[in-house]
């Protein structure tokens, strides 16, 4: 999550915010966006498994994707937005 908020994701250090109230609002928005991206990434992993994920013989809980759910979710959101496709519905985790 640290790298998702910093260089590999949202780039929080580029905001240069100094007041605590503005920074807290930005963190709230980023947390919601992180949840959304991870949820979309989990959906994409189930709906569109990669060739490596399909061919694994390991139990599902031991197999790992090359991309994090966050990165996979961001890429999926960009791809769906580029073709003006609807986003999948969010599900409650649990």
pLDDT at 88: 86
Lowest mean pLDDT among 10-14, 70-74, 84-88: 10-14
Which residue has better confidence, 19 or 3?
A: 19
Lowest mean pLDDT among 5-9, 49-53, 62-66, 80-84: 62-66
Q: Rounded CA gap, 41 and 71, in Å?
A: 7
Burial, 41: exposed, middle or buried (Cβ in 10 Å; 0-12, 13-18, 19+)? buried
Kindly give, in sequence order, each residue whose CB lies less than 8 Å from that of residue 6, ignoring residues fewer than 6 positions away. Answer: 12, 13
pLDDT tens digit sequence for 14-69 = 788 888 898 889 889 988 988 999 999 988 888 888 776 666 655 555 456 678 88
Domain ranges of the chain: 2-82
């Amino acid at each position: 999550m640290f790298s998702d908020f910093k260089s590999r994701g949202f780039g929080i250090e580029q905001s240069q915010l100094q007041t605590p109230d503005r920074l807290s609002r930005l963190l709230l928005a980023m947390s919601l966006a992180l949840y959304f991206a991870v949820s979309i990434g989990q959906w994409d992993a189930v709906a569109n498994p990669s060739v490596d994920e399909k061919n694994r013989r390991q139990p599902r809980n031991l197999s790992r994707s090359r991309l994090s759910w966050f990165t996979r979710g961001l890429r999926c959101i960009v791809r769906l937005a580029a073709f003006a496709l609807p986003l999948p519905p969010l599900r409650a985790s649990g």
